[in-house]
């Protein structure tokens, strides 16, 4: 399944499927991007980051893709598991300006067993 | 690995009362950030400190103040509490303020105003 980020705040997938969560950012000067996972009752947890001199970065079961031309960021989760159910936030930072990350609207990922 | 510690985890206050939230950053992290998160909302930045000095200010109400102490822990002081202050308050820390370092968040303080 695929989320269109701001326009679809909930993404439901079956266990084992791949998930894609999208995020559109607004500041063309942003040069550092972070994905966070927030489980109910907990603080945002760092998943993966990417700098603007890269267009792809892989972690364990996660891949972040960055398209600076259209100011779009995506998080791909392979073989989604029930434990991946959470709200996912993207955040952007302009490290040459204010270094405070700006959070995008979260996407709720629901994984059905 | 040590994480960001926040206390208390839950706090119930009445309108017009005061509250103090505490944050203990990850060891050797010199930057602390405070965020407010309403239900179903993304975290909103309030204020940050680097090396015990205020480094940036967001949407923090004048009724709130914060500081970072010599041991790098931080406290958020909230006065004249209003119903709208009910929210999750997160603290995050990072190593350095201007670089590309991710923030690490605590599990928050849930503040409820009656």
The residue-averaged pLDDT of A50-64 equals 96
Using DSSP bridges, classify how beta strands B19-24 and B31-37 pair: parallel, antiparallel or unpaired: unpaired
Alpha-carbon gap: A104 to the closest alpha carbon of chain B (Å): 7
* Residue B72 neighbours by CB distance under 10 Å: 20
Contact assignment for B90 to A43 by CB distance below 8 Å: yes
Alpha-carbon gap: A2 to the closest alpha carbon of chain B (Å): 20
Contact assignment for A99 to B56 by CB distance below 8 Å: yes
Output phi, psi for A27, to 5 deg: -95, 110
Task: Kindly tell me the sign of the dihedral angle through the C-alpha atoms of A6, A44, B107, A41.
Answer: positive
- Out of A51-65, B18-32, B38-52, B66-80, pick the least confident: B38-52
With beta carbons under 8 A apart, name residues in chain B contacting A43: 4, 90, 92, 105-108
Which residue among A43, A89, A101 places its CB closest to the CB of B107? A43
- The SS3 assignment for A82 reads helix
Alpha-carbon gap: B35 to the closest alpha carbon of chain A (Å): 10
Cβ atoms of A89 and B42 within 8 Å: the answer is yes
A-B CB pairs within 8 A amount to 52
User: What pLDDT score does A33 carry?
Assistant: 92
Burial of A52 (0-12, 13-18, 19+ CB in 10 A): middle
User: What pLDDT score does A11 carry?
Assistant: 94
Cα(B1)–Cα(B75) distance, integer angstroms: 23
pLDDT tens digits, B44-67:
999 999 999 998 899 899 999 999
Locate A103 and state its tokens.
Answer: 């959070």
User: What pLDDT score does A98 carry?
Assistant: 67
Name the band, by pLDDT with cuts 50, 70 and 90, for residue A7: very low
Contact assignment for A42 to B108 by CB distance below 8 Å: yes
Cα(A99)–Cα(A104) distance, integer angstroms: 15
Cα(B21)–Cα(B6) distance, integer angstroms: 7
Cα(B31)–Cα(B8) distance, integer angstroms: 20
- Out of A14-28, A44-58, A85-99, pick the least confident: A85-99
């Amino acid at each position: 399944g695929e989320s269109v980020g701001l326009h679809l705040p909930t993404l439901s997938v079956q266990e084992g499927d791949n998930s894609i969560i999208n995020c559109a950012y607004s500041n063309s000067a942003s040069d550092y991007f972070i994905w966070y996972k927030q489980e109910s009752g907990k603080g945002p947890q760092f998943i993966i980051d990417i700098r603007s001199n890269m267009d792809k970065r892989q972690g364990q079961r996660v891949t972040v893709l960055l398209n600076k031309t259209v100011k779009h960021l995506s998080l791909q989760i392979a073989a989604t598991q029930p434990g991946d159910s959470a709200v996912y936030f993207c955040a952007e930072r302009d490290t040459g300006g204010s270094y405070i990350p700006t959070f995008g609207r979260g996407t709720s990922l629901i994984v059905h067993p | 690995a040590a994480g960001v510690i926040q206390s208390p985890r839950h706090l119930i206050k009445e309108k017009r009362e005061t509250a103090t939230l505490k944050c203990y950053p990850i060891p050797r992290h010199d930057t602390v950030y405070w965020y407010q998160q309403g239900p179903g909302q993304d975290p909103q930045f309030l204020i940050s400190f680097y090396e015990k000095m205020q480094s940036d200010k967001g949407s923090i109400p004048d009724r709130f103040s914060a500081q970072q102490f010599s041991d790098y822990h931080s406290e958020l002081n909230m006065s004249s509490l209003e119903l709208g202050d009910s929210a999750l308050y997160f603290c995050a820390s990072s190593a350095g303020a201007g670089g590309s370092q991710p923030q690490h968040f605590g599990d928050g303080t849930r503040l409820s105003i009656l």
